[in-house]
Amino acid sequence: MADQPFETDSDGNIITNPVTGWVSTTFAEMGVILAVQYAPTPEALESGESSSIQFVLTPAQCLELAARLTKLANIVLDQTLPEKPAN
């Protein structure tokens, strides 16, 4: 897995788990704890069932993650937003 950044199935497809929510708070006055809820299967997504995983991040990691997610979200939004008509 060191050569490939994403987990894949036996066919080489990237395994995805839709995020269904998250909660976060400060942790021991030195970091942030982030719990991400996700649907582990399509059936779980349909039924509203979720699993979660918890992470502890440093403030620097939080800022780096936020910046990267913002950048990627803007790329996707720029590709999907309809073009404005020229005046």
* Residue, of 67 and 43, whose pLDDT is higher: 67
- Tell me what the mean pLDDT of segment 74-84 comes to: 84
DSSP state of 11: T
Q: What is the pLDDT of residue 36?
A: 97
Distance CA 32, CA 84 (A): 40
- Extract the runs of DSSP E, i.e. beta strands, from 1-87: 19-27, 31-38, 51-57
- Tell me what the mean pLDDT of segment 35-52 comes to: 93
| H helix or E strand, kind and range, residue 4 | none
Sign of the torsion angle spanned by Cα atoms 9, 50, 73, 31: negative
* Domain boundary assignment for the chain: 19-80
Q: Are 35 and 53 in contact (CB under 8 A)?
A: yes
Q: What is the pTM of this model?
A: 0.77
With a cut of 70, say whether residue 2 has pLDDT above it: no
Q: What is the pLDDT of residue 85?
A: 67
Q: What is the pLDDT of residue 49?
A: 92
